[in-house]
Amino acid sequence: MDYPVDNVDDAYNACNPDQPLEGDDERYLDLTVVRNGEKIGFLTSRITKTPPGTFHKQLFTGHRGSGKSTELHQLQKQLRAKNYFVVFLDIEQTLDLGEISYQDVLLSIAKSTLEALNEANISIKAALLSDLEAWFEEKIISKDYVKDVKASAKVTNKAGIKIPFVTELMTSLVGEIRSGSTYRTEIRQTLEKQLTVFIAKLNDLLLAARLQLQREHFVDFVVIVDGLEKMHYRILDNKDSNHTDLFIRHAEQLKSPQAHIVYTVPIALISDSPINNDVTDSIFLIPMVKYQEPEGKRQLIHLVAKRVRLELFADMALLERLIAISGGSVRDLLRLIRLATETTESKIEASDIDRAIRILVKDFDRLIREDDIPLLKAIAKDKRVIKDLEKRYERLLSLRLVNEYENGKTWADLHPVLRNIAWLQAKLEEPAP
């Protein structure tokens, strides 16, 4: 497809909010200047400047919809240009976002590393793969399970696809975890008991991969773990959130792989926990676009213009309405445009904009609870992050009811769509008792 597109049907596909842009996509626009954030090149530099024999661990965050995955693909592109081998792991495509443990993440890193090497036709020593396979067969899974995977592997090999058996085994185990089968709890518990050995085996694999990649003239390799910030927010029996359990309680396990690793993390954690001390020295934040400022609005118009011809809007004021209601979220802006393209007309008219906004308002309306209102009122008044012992703020951030921006320092405000919810706006305007 050639961009920008010139009709509403193509605009629907050009503005898919759920499709991150690959590193070489012509629709990409660097929005750093209107975010007041750091350029992704700074993160590339942190990795490439890390002394040999040490590994950079980086947390990467931002609101859902701020464009994190697209920026991570830019990081992948820049690292590849510097001759790094990059393993890009999308957790949303690999695991169950409703329930993720640190064992799942480490196992997925091993699986994705093996798959990436295989796809690049880079082989590591057969003895190491055999040792890893034998260990899993002896300590983690049953003989019957191994037989089933081997039977499946024979079918794959007959189809002309050559995949090392240990890769098939890892893929099968991760699939069991994702599907929530009866094996999931058993796999996690067994890995927990064998944790020290499992991490040692994982690091043996990563070391072997690094050495072989260096023989192939790569500088090193980097693992990017995207999608962890999308974990469904839950409160556990111990009153901690599942976010805290993964990134705080099990920070040491996440740091244990001996490789450069970038983990995405829920934005709520960075303002209400010591996560930066537990995993890394710094957190890379992608703030929302400052849509309220003229330059922010101009850049968002430019972003849209790289995808669709602006003449598709019957009036430029219509696009500006969508920008204002999006709150600086690229995802929400693209979703609104996509909704507006569901029209029988050749242009996007005011009625299409009204309908798109109504749909977004209904979606956000369903998210608000009565006990959210006092906190929403306080944020609307003080324009700042508020920490509360009950961690209700984490929920507001994870649901994007509240957005954070950068202007020398972090500040917060309600998502502007909330101002279009009549009953909530009435509550916000009520005087304090």
Answer yes or no: is pLDDT of 273 > 80: no
Angle (deg, nearest 10), helices 102-119 and 183-193: 90
Contact 122, 210 (CB under 8 A): no
Residue 400: left if φ>0, alpha if ψ -120 to 50, beta else—which one?
Answer: left
Structure-token match 């690292």, residue found: 79
Query: Does residue 158 have a pLDDT over 50?
Result: no
pLDDT of residue 389: 59
* DSSP 8-state secondary structure symbol assigned to residue 431: P
Judge contact between 348 and 8, C-beta under 8 A.
Answer: yes
Structure tokens at 206: 């990563």
- State the average pLDDT over residues 159-166: 68
Q: What is the DSSP letter of 233?
A: P
Is residue 372 within 8 Å of residue 425, measured between CB atoms? Answer: no
Q: Are 417 and 361 in contact (CB under 8 A)?
A: yes
- Would the pLDDT of 271 be above 80? no
Helix axes 102-119, 165-179, angle to 10 degrees: 140
Q: pLDDT tens across 313-358, in order?
A: 999 999 999 999 999 999 999 999 999 999 999 999 999 999 999 9
Whether the pLDDT of residue 157 is over 60: the answer is no
- pLDDT tens for 165-199 read 888 889 999 999 999 888 898 899 999 999 999 99
* pLDDT value for 388: 64
**What is the distance between the alpha carbons of residues 28 and 71, in angstroms, rounded to a whole number?**
9
- Cα end-to-end distance, the chain, whole Å: 57
How does DSSP assign 100-118, residue by residue?
A: --HHHHHHHHHHHHHHHHH
pLDDT surpasses 90 at 408: no
Coil, strand or helix: which one is 208? Answer: helix
Q: Does the structure show a pLDDT above 80 at 283?
A: yes
* Contact criterion met (CB below 8 Å) for 98 and 232: yes
Question: Does pLDDT of 402 surpass 50?
Answer: yes
CA dist., res. 284 & res. 152, Å (int): 42
Which ranges in 89-194 belong to alpha helices (H)? 91-94, 102-119, 126-135, 143-158, 165-179, 183-193
- Which two structure tokens, joined as six digits, stand for 267? 């934005």
Question: Looking at the predicted structure, is the pLDDT value of residue 277 above 70?
Answer: no
Give the CA distances from residue 58 to residues 43, 52, 106, 264, 428, in Å, rounded to whole numbers and listed in that order.
8, 17, 16, 8, 38
Closest listed residue to residue 155, CA positions, set 145, 140, 165: 165
Would you say residue 281 has pLDDT above 70? no
pLDDT above 70 for 154: no
CA distances (Å), 163 to each of 49, 89, 117, 159, 393, in order? 34, 19, 11, 11, 46
Residue 260 has φ and ψ, to the nearest 5°, of -70, 125
pLDDT beyond 90 at 287: no
Residue 211 has pLDDT above 90, yes or no: yes
Residue closest to 229 by CA, chosen among 184, 189, 266: 266
* Res. 156: pLDDT tops 80: no
Tokens 């994007």 correspond to 400
Q: For residue 427, report the phi and psi dihedrals to the nearest 5 degrees.
A: -65, -40
Residue 157 neighbours by CB distance under 10 Å: 13
Nearest residue to 235 via CA among 374, 59, 398, 60: 398
Assess whether the previous peptide bond of 4 is cis (omega < 30° from 0).
Answer: yes
CB-based contact 200:184 (threshold 8 Å) = no
> Tokens at residue 312, please?
């598709």
pLDDT tens digits for range 9-65 = 999 999 999 999 999 999 999 999 999 878 999 999 999 999 988 999 999 998 888
**Per-residue pLDDT for 155 more than 60?**
no
Nearest-Å Rg of the Cα atoms of the chain is 23
Cα separation values, 139 from 95, 125, 187, Å: 22, 22, 10
